[in-house]
Structure 1
């Protein structure tokens, strides 16, 4: 019987230890998937800016890169921000360092730590439509996503931005949506980021307007945003105590408006505030437009209805009337507490959806609970004001009876 030397036995023991160490590391590798399951998330903001966007980007980043949560997950994440919305993913040249620096930004917890305090979008935005039938750049988009090594695209936006995200999803790219629009007209969610802050802006501006309106005994017509949905005008008007509110969902009769104003004349009230959505229109007429130029999603710019209504009122009643267009003021300023909270919830939900592989869906608030809905159910139609439930068609204002 042959006897092994001490050196041979030591090598055998060392080999056994190395073998078991290999088995252990392989097991850990398989169980935790640190290398196999690393994913790159690209987050972008599209369409009109609004307060709360930065908060959503922050919480996507913080949730994805949180080390404590990472120790409990089967995957790890890298997050990059895409500047200027879909335009960033279309125009970036992945082989050019200067282009990469212009259109992409690495994000981590330290970088985004204070972002939720600020309005607008630090990533920038645009109304670029990569699927525009007149200028289809979807192949460039797909190629850039592949070259950048992006695994998931998180798109924060309204119907147009999320429509592009859905088109991308149909082409095989993993996408997740976060609802954003001050119009609050997205189907599938009770709330969209930016709405509460915009309503607060309307309320604050009308509060200021009352002092000059009362001083001069004037009527003021205030124009808000709201192309097809009157939620901004309705809630802004209700919160500010407007006498008359005009919304796109119910064409108005100018004779009836003037009668309501004449009835108020002579009482102790020296002025009146009317709030009108930019998409509101008189009976039998179309929306007022400021420019016939069509953007990449097929929209024209609306506006001018407040001046029209003010001129008509003064001409028909001789009551001194002025108009004010709030315009982009509604998109500005720091986010309200509610928008900061919703940005947090939606950002966290987006990462949960990625982990659960719920792609092609949008984070959603329904009946007070955070959930998700298919993107295809959120586009092609809008959530409009139910004029039976929420609108008094005779007084042109919010309902004064809620429980029916």
Structure 2
């Protein structure tokens, strides 16, 4: 009597913050894997439990269980920011846990930190484990080819635009300003995507400032310049969209107590712990009072509202394609790559190609401020521009609005036009 051949076991885990479409990836990858002759288990809460050697926080996934989860936000497997790369013992514990569970193929879903963890785990496995990573983040900052979004970004942008549209109406109705701080730990893709699509008064992202660290005064002057230009046009309202990644660019002395703020297991400042909008509101209001300008500023953070939203149709379709391709890649014997779909075709990006040789970490995709897309966005913003200082009559009006002599206005704001800012 012949022995029954054991079916390969595929494990799926989710790391980092939530993003719309996670369940779609899980569902599609599960269906393709099962139809390809594999068993599938879901590992709960990312690397959190298996890096401690625990194997009880898993669940078997069936087609019946996941056939309709692509409609819903969140993650049916949970997620966590646990970092197994800090110690070799944690990587080894992950491998031992997976081996105990019979897992020989692993699909990870997450952002740059999870991608790095997947890369290091595959290296440590030395051929014992096939690994593929599905890029996920509403920040859109994984190093995919230009024009290819990370999944979840389009849904987050769509919902963010709807929120900002409402705030724009409220701002005009009540003659006030809103400072809207959006997620984006390092890059300004989400802030720019929301601000440009909604037609916000201006959007400010870290990539536009070449000199680091960025001084708070510079950022405050950018916002005050927009206030003055807006008032000069007869409007006392506005909405500024600000990328939270500006916090990491600021000089620490400009943010009281920043050094005491909690950091996650990957060493990143928990930006949600810093009331960045309030810091800016307070600083801008103080400076506006010195110009004799009275206004109401309301700070508003958006981000958590976006992360677990039901995916829009774009992300729903996109993530089902990504999940299918991840599973098919493993079925075909593939290993050590990140999934991408380029021009409608599946293109695996080898793990080695996503590493930044300067940092040894996964590359972060920043907004290209030289691109036509960004240049167009800037043209539609209400903020001081070189032309404002080159047209004498217009400059006089701006200076008068600020209650300053022309030379004093130049001295205060013209440095913002510098190429090396």
Give the corresponding residue for 2:333: 357
String of CA shifts for 1:1-23, please: whole Å, max 9, x gaps.
xxxxxxxxxxxxxxxxxxxxx9x
Alignment of 1:114-153 (within 5 A): 114-133=68-87, 136-153=89-106
> Does 2:285 match 1:293?
no
| Runs of 5+ unmatched residues, structure 2 | 210-217, 289-293, 356-360, 383-421
Q: Aligned to 1:212, which of 146, 166, 170?
A: 170
Q: Closer, same or farther in 2 for the Cα pair 1:82/1:320, shift >3 Å?
A: same
Q: Is 2:178–2:299's contact at 8 Å kept on the other side of the alignment?
A: yes
Q: Is 2:203–2:242's contact at 8 Å kept on the other side of the alignment?
A: yes
- Residues 168-177 or 154-163, more deviating: 168-177
Q: Aligned to 1:174, which of 111, 122, 130?
A: 130
Q: Aligned to 1:160, which of 103, 113, 117?
A: 113
Higher helix residue share: 2
Give the corresponding residue for 2:282: 311
Give the corresponding residue for 1:60: 29
Q: CA deviation at 1:65?
A: 1.6
SS of the equivalent of 1:123 reads: coil
> Does 2:372 match 1:387?
no
- Residues 327-336 or 240-249, more deviating: 327-336
Rounded Cα–Cα distance in structure 2 between residues aligned with 1:45 and 1:397: 38
Q: Closer, same or farther in 2 for the Cα pair 1:284/1:93, shift >3 Å?
A: closer
- Residues 319-328 or 227-236, more deviating: 319-328
Rounded Cα–Cα distance in structure 2 between residues aligned with 1:282 and 1:125: 24
Q: Is 2:19–2:137's contact at 8 Å kept on the other side of the alignment?
A: yes
Rounded Cα–Cα distance in structure 1 between residues aligned with 2:228 and 2:379: 13
Q: Closer, same or farther in 2 for the Cα pair 1:397/1:291, shift >3 Å?
A: farther
| Runs of 5+ unmatched residues, structure 1 | 1-21, 30-34, 71-75, 95-99, 399-404
Alignment of 1:34-113 (within 5 A): 36=5, 38-66=7-35, 70=36, 76-91=37-52, 93-94=54-55, 100=56, 103-113=57-67
Q: Is 2:168–2:200's contact at 8 Å kept on the other side of the alignment?
A: no
- Residues 167-176 or 388-397, more deviating: 388-397
Q: Closer, same or farther in 2 for the Cα pair 1:306/1:284, shift >3 Å?
A: closer
**Once superposed, what is the RMSD of the aligned Cα atoms?**
2.7
- Residues 319-328 or 218-227, more deviating: 319-328
How many residue pairs are counted as aligned between the two chains? 352
What is the TM-score of this pair, normalised by structure 2?
0.77
Q: CA deviation at 1:36?
A: 4.9
What is the TM-score of this pair, normalised by structure 1?
0.80
Q: Closer, same or farther in 2 for the Cα pair 1:258/1:283, shift >3 Å?
A: farther
Give the corresponding residue for 2:399: none
Rounded Cα–Cα distance in structure 1 between residues aligned with 2:76 and 2:378: 44
